[in-house]
Structure 1
């Protein structure tokens, strides 16, 4: 993309502080991001089986993108993720985003399907519980 592209200037903020991003100061927003993307994936694959998933490039691409967002939200939560939502494989969740971005040609479709079918539902439920607890704590209930 050209550096003079108007679209690029409007879409992307200039940033390069040379400092690694710190964990988010908005854990509720990050948990909501994980939940929203997990729910979107569940809607996208509803009624599909592995064969259908492999054969539907748009759905496959959408699922990959949502998984990248989940991974990024987990990265922004940092170590707080483990204390808010214990028992989840946070390091693997963060690493998945890197694999999807950098090793996209080595991702096995059946492994992605297993993540969607087996790993994602309990992650979503656990994040919903954590978000509810977090919000109740913020309102003093």
Structure 2
């Protein structure tokens, strides 16, 4: 698979996990109270965040360099926190990621996938 094809495939998978986070918030309720009260909700979101971080590691260095407006390292670092914290990830931080970072990341990936300008996610 060509590097560009691989990057586009990875972006489609990232968008899929962003969609799953959106579906999870629709299912459980789009409030911090419902999020913090449900371990199942928190775990479902954390798994998607973990998968997104894993996928970011599969993007080519060239792609990450060309799209440096997205904090790829921080996304990967969050994956490591989720993977190795054994349930101690701060719910407020995770909620902020769900509400702010995931929609921005999804929008940015969709702009790239559709060939639109991706200057400002």
* TM-score normalised per structure 2: 0.82
How much does 1:36 deviate? 0.5
Is it true that 1:71 corresponds to 2:61 in the alignment? no
User: Which of structures 1 and 2 has the bigger CA Rg?
Assistant: 1
In structure 2, the gaps of 5 or more residues are: 117-121
C-alpha RMSD of the superposition: 2.0
Which residues of structure 1 form unaligned runs of 5+?
A: 1-22, 135-141
1:37 pairs, out of 14, 17, 23, with 17
CA distance in 2, matches of 1:71, 1:92: 9
Residue 25 of structure 1: CA displacement?
A: 6.0
| Displaced runs of 4 or more, over 6 A | none
What is the alpha-carbon distance in structure 1 between the residues aligned to residue 35 and residue 102 of structure 2? Answer: 16
More displaced 10-residue stretch of structure 1: 111-120 or 95-104 = 95-104
2:98 is the alignment partner of 1:116: yes
Q: How far is 1:48 from its partner? A: 2.2
| Cα distance in structure 2, aligned partners of 1:40 and 1:124 | 11
In the TM superposition, what is the alpha-carbon distance from 1:105 to its structure 2 partner?
3.6
Distance 1:127 1:57 in 2: 29
Cα gap change, 1:30/1:55 in structure 2, threshold over 3 Å: closer, same or farther? Answer: same
Partner-residue secondary structure (3-state), 1:104: coil
Q: TM-score when scaled to structure 1?
A: 0.71
